[in-house]
Structures are given as C-alpha cells and as structure tokens.
Structure 1
Amino acid sequence: MKKIIIFEVQGGSDKGPDGYRKDTMPMVQALQQRGFEAEVVFYDFERQQEILNDVLENACAYVSRINPGNLKHESAYFSMLRQLCENGIIGMPHPDAMIGYGAKDALVKLTNTSLVPADTYAYYSLQELFEQFPSSLAKGERVLKQNRGSTGEGIWRVSLVDEGEVPHAKSKIKCTEAKDNHVEHWELKDFMYFCEQYITGDNGMLVDMPFLPRIKEGEIRLLMLKDRPINVVHKKPQDHEDAFSATLFSGAAYRYDSPEEWQELVTSFLMQLPDVTKQLGGYDLPLLWTADFILDTNPDGTDCYVLGEMNCSCVGFTSELELAHDIAEAIIDRVATSTY
C-alpha cells in the first residue's frame, strides 16, 4: 500500500521542539497504528520537482499541514499540489478548495444563502474601496477584513464618530483592530489609503460586512471533520467597550463544548452545507476545517447565526490531540472510497 504524505514546512511559531507541528506526529502515529504508511515531508521550494516526483511515485494521498503565514512560495506550493491532484493523488484538501474555503471573499459568494448578510462586499482594488465603502459605512458600523494575516491583524471595526453623518473624505472615523482591540482615529480618506496595503499583492483583498454587536456574547467556532462537527469552541471577547476580537492573543476567553450543545446551529449549517459546497467550487470538503459564527437577531426577534469566516489551510487541534484518531479514520475512509 502506498504512503500518505503529510506536508509541513520548516520553521514558524507553530512548531514543537522536534521541528514538527504538535498535532502532526499524533496523526502519523494514528495512521501507522491502523497499518498505513505515513510520512512527513517538509516542503522546500528549491526541491519542489524532487518532492513532486517522489510523492507521485510513492504516495496515494497527501494531507496539507502548512500555515500559509510560514510559506514564502505559496503559489508554487499550490501549483505542486494541483499537479499531484491532476495525476491521481488524493488531495486533503485540494488546493482550490483550500483557496475557496479559506479566502475571505468566500463570504461574498455565500450572500445568496441565509448564512451571510446581503450587504457584504469584496474589494480587490483601491478604486472599489473608495466607490463602495462610504456607502456601506452610511448604513452603520462595519468590519473590514483583510484576506491575509492571522490573530486578528488587519481586521478593523469601523464607525463614524458623528453618527448619522453622510460619510465623506474628511469624515472622522473610529477604528478598532481585532489584533489587540486598540483604537485609532482617522479621516475616512486617509484610512482607505492605509487599507491599500491589504489589497495589493498576491491574494490581496478586503471584505466589508456589517458589524454584529452580539459578538460580545461570543463567536462560535464549529470544528469540522469533513461534514461532521466534532467540537465547538465558544470564544468570548474581553468585557470592555471596544473589545470585539475573539482571539486568545487579544484576551478572549475560550470554552470547549460538544456539538450537541449547539444543536440548532449545527442542524441549520449542515442543512445548508451542500449549497455551500456548490457555491465554493464543488470540491470535496476539506479534511479538517472551521466555520465561525456570530449571533444576530432576525426581524421577528428570534436568534440567527451569521457566518463570519472559514478556515481550512491548517486548522490546529493541539489542545485535543486525541482527535488524531478520528482524523486518521477519516483519511483512511477517503483513501478507501477513491480510485488512484
């Protein structure tokens, strides 16, 4: 039987003393306990062709465990993964699924579902930002999210200082960054020019969506193993006026729940999952991925859940390493039900 390759990259803050991610070797060991060969391969741009040839010859599938923030040659890596998939290697996930689910503009593609507000926009140029964002801001407080970055960097909560003002270039705005909930005051035009850094470069974009005040009650993260919720993380921001970030770095409090404790959310999301898959390219669901939700209120006063972000590039489970056995079973099932 051919190997299952787990891709990592050397370096980065997500590595343990042995040089691997802390959740990688438990996956390797769980696969080996089930009679499968599994090997970690460190991606190296300089050795890309060698790695490609070796995987094509000796492997049946790969699992990508690389944080894009640690990858200098992301487009080359994705190109290699695409070549592997085109030649029959089972991709977990396929690189285009990684892009489709992981990019912030996935939210814009889902505005025709009940998961995302209709007034959610993506900006791929400074001109688009200047043309649309003032009109968005006129409707109320907004959140701008860059496509790159992590731990809340480049995610800004933006409001007019003079509520009810028609936004213009000199409008005073209050901006709070999710990284650490710090507040800055800008003129609108200057802030939009500042945001150009998030739009330029590979995969640059900004997503603009309404700010949801009930984030104060916490963000709800579904940890998904393909189409099965296996854990729920409730992330409550710090309790002060400007705090809205749900990251540990910013001081948010985390609580781990079972999916059964969030049955209404889980049932609703699973019912819509086939449509989500279709809208995002029709690829197989990622092996391990997350969907983050924020509570909102329907016009009739009932609760609803708004999708704020998805991530499938390299979802960690270091706090629950026992999940490696469930993940190994899902990998084996994927291999068993595929031809290569």
Structure 2
Amino acid sequence: MKKVIFFEVQGGSDKGQDGHRKDTMPMVEALQQKGYPAEVVFFDVTQMDAIYDYVKHNAVAYVSRINPGNMVGEAQYFGMLRALCEDGIIGLPHPDAMTGYGAKDALVKLTDTSLVPSDTYAYYTMSEFFYQFPKALALNERVLKQNRGSTGEGIWRVQLMEPLPVGATEASLTTKVKCTEAKDNHVEYWKLGEFMLFCEQYIIGDGGMLVDMPFLPRIKEGEIRLLLLRDTPINVVHKKPAAAADAFSATLFSGAQYRYDPPILWEGLITDFLAQLPHVKDKLGGFDLPLLWTADFILRDAPDGSDDYVLGEMNCSCVGFTSELSLAPRVADEIIACITEKQQIKA
C-alpha cells in the first residue's frame, strides 16, 4: 500500500521539540493505527528533484503542513505539488486551492454573493489604489489588508479625522486620517496621500496587493472562525477584541479573548455558508475543498435589522489544531475518505 506523505520544513516557530508541528505526528500516528502507512518528508528546495521522485513513486496522497512564512522556495514547492497532482497523487490540498482560498483577493471574487460586501476591492498597482481608495473612504471607514503577513500585520483600519465637505465624492490626498493596525491596535495619524505611499510596501513585489473592505463596527462583538474539515464544520472559535476603544484586532497577540464553541451554537451562520459553498468553490477555481481550512466572519446589521455575517478571510495553507489534538483521528478518517473517493472515481 502506498503512503500518505506529510510535507513539513525544518525549523520555524510552529515546531515542537521533536522538530515537527505539534499536530503533524498525531495525524501520522492516527493513519498508521487505521492501517494506512504515513510518514513525514521535509521539503528542501535544494533536494526538490529527489523529493519529487520519492513521493511520485511511493505516495498515494500528500498533506501539506508547511507555513509559507517558514519556507524557502515557495514557488518551487507549489510547482512540485502541481506536478505531483498531475502525476495522479492526491493533493490535500491542491496547490491552486491553497492560493485560491488563502489569498486575500478571494473576497473580491465573491462580491456577487451575500458573503462579501459589493464595495470590496483589490489593488494590484498604486494607480488602482490612488484611483479607487479615496472614493471608497469618502463613503465609509475602510479596512486595508495586505496579502502577505500574519497576526494582523499590515491590516489597517482607516478613518477620516473630520467630515468631508458637503458633496465631496472622494477624500483629497491632504485629508487627515486615523490609522489603526490590527497587529497591536496601535494608532497612527497621517495625511491620506502619505499613508497611501506608505502602503506601497504591501503592493510591490511578488504576490503583492491590498484588499479594501468597509469597516464593520460589530467586530467589537467578536470574529467567528469556522474550522472546517472539507465541508464539515468541526469547531467554532469566537475571537473577541480587547476592550480598548481603538481595538479591532481578533488576534491573541493583540489581547483578543478566544472562546471555543460547538458548531451547533452557530447553526444559522453555518447553514447559510454551507448552502453557498458550491458557488464559492466554483468562483475560486473549482478545485476540491481543502482538507482543513478556516473561514472568518464578522457580524453586521442586515437591512431588515437581523444579524448578517460577512466573510472576512479564509485560510488553508497550514491550518493547525494544536489546542485540540484529539481531532487527529477524525482528520485521519477524512484523509482516508478523500483517497477512497478519488480511487473510486478512477475505477
């Protein structure tokens, strides 16, 4: 029987004393206990050809457990995964699904759904940014999100310091703005044009871009993160920002409080999201849903006064469950189910 290969890299802050992510070996061991051979292979860009050849001939599927922030040779790694999928190895997930679901501009592709506000934009060049952002800011407070980074770095809430003149349809570049970064909720004051030039660092370079969304005040009530195993929510994390007046970040680093809920407590949100998953899947490339992924939501008021949920971000590059390692056997069962389904299709 061919193996399930778990890809990791050496080093990084997400590793335990054994050199592995804390949730990797529990999955490997759970598969082995169920009769499926499994092992970890450490990706090294200098050994990529040998790794590719080994996995191609010995694996039935791979599970990617690499945080992109810890990796040297990300483009080469994704290229190798793509080649393995073309060779018939089952990708959990496919590399294009990782980029499709994980990139911030996935939100812009979903503005025709009820999940994402229609005034959500992506800026890939400074000219696009300077054309649209002052217009958007004239209508409401905004949140800018860089494509790279983590723990709230490069995510800014932007507010006008004073109302614009009556009839103004865009903010001038000399308009004073208050900018709060989600990393630690610290506040900076800028002229709009100078702040936008500061944001050039997020747009330039490979994969650079900014996503621009309306700020949702009910973030103070908390962000709701669904942890999904393909199309099944298995956990809900309610992340409430710190109580400080300017705090809007839902990261632990910024002082947010986390609460873990069973999915049944968020039945309305889950039912609505699952109903739209086929459309989401189609809009993001038609790939199989990631094995383990998250979707983050923020409450807003619907026109009829009821609660509505806005999708703020998705992640599937290396979603962890280190605080609930008891989930490992369930993840192993889902890996086996994925393999069985693919083999039945081939047959």
TM range (shorter): over 0.9
C-alpha distance in 2, partners of 1:250/1:216? 13
**In 2, Cα distance between equivalents of 1:163 and 1:239:** 26
More displaced 10-residue stretch of structure 1: 162-171 or 3-12: 162-171
- 1:171-193 deviation per Cα after TM superposition (whole angstroms, max 9, x unaligned): 11100000000000111111111
Cross-structure match for 2:274: 270
Q: Distance in 1 between matches of 2:187 and 2:320?
A: 30
Corresponding residue to 1:197 among 198, 201, 204: 201
Aligned match of 2:255:
251
* Aligned: 1:83 with 2:87: no
Structure 1 spans left out of the alignment, 5+ residues: none
Please say if 1:207 is aligned against 2:205.
no
Q: Return the offset for 1:334.
A: 0.6
Instruction: Identify the residue that residue 15 of structure 1 maps to in structure 2.
Output: 15
How far does the alpha carbon of each residue in 1:31-55 deviate from its partner, in whole angstroms, 9 at most, with x for none?
A: 0000111010111000001000000
Matched, 1:168 2:172: yes
Task: State which of 330, 335, 342 in structure 2 corresponds to 1:331.
Answer: 335
Question: Over residues 230-285 of structure 1, what are the superposed CA-to-partner deviations in whole Å (9 max), with x where a residue is unaligned?
Answer: 00000000011100000000000000000000000010001001100010000000
How far apart in 1 are the matches of 2:269 and 2:317? 23
Secondary structure at 1:186 match in 2: strand
CA-based RMSD of the aligned residues comes to 0.8
How many Å apart are 1:140 and its aligned residue? 1.1
What is the TM-score normalised by the length of structure 2?
A: 0.97
**For residue 310 of structure 1, what is the aligned residue in structure 2?**
314
Is it true that 1:155 corresponds to 2:159 in the alignment?
Answer: no
Which residue does the alignment assign to 1:101? 101
Cα shift readout 1:147-193 (whole Å, capped 9, x = no counterpart): 00000000000011012354111111100000000000111111111
1:103 counterpart letter in structure 2: A
User: How many corresponding residue pairs?
Assistant: 340
- Distance in 2 separating the partners of 1:241 and 1:171: 23
- Inter-partner Cα distance in structure 2 for 1:190 and 1:327: 47
Distance in 2 between residues matched to 1:72 and 1:106, nearest whole Å: 24
Check if 1:220 corresponds to 2:224.
yes
- Equivalent-residue separation in structure 1 for 2:13 and 2:163 (angstroms): 42
In structure 1, the residue matched to 2:185 is 181
Q: CA deviation at 1:337?
A: 1.2
Amino acid at match of 2:283: Q
Could you say what secondary structure the match of 2:243 adopts? Answer: coil
Return the offset for 1:73: 1.2
Structure 2 distance, partners of 1:99, 1:232, is 23
Q: Work out the percentage of aligned pairs sharing the same amino acid.
A: 70
1:105-124 Cα deviation digits (max 9, x unpaired): 00000000000000000000
Counterparts of 1:72 and 1:212 in 2: how far apart (Å)?
36
Question: In structure 2, what residue type is equivalent to 1:173?
Answer: V
Tell me the equivalent position of 1:320: 324
Alpha-carbon shift at residue 300 of structure 1 (Å): 1.4
- Determine the C-alpha separation between the residues in 2 that align with 1:6 and 1:81: 12
Partner of 2:294: 290
TM-score (norm 1): 0.99
Residue in 2 aligned with 1:146? 146
Q: Determine the C-alpha separation between the residues in 1 that align with 2:254 and 2:154.
A: 14
Higher mean Cα deviation, 85-94 or 71-80? 71-80
Q: Give the CA deviation at 1:72.
A: 2.1
Runs of 5+ in structure 2 lacking a partner?
none
Looking at structure 1, the residues matched to 304 and 268 of structure 2 have their Cα atoms a distance apart, in angstroms, of 17
Q: For 1:338, what is the secondary structure of its paired residue? A: helix
Once the two structures are TM-superposed, the CA of residue 101 in structure 1 deviates from its matched residue by 0.1
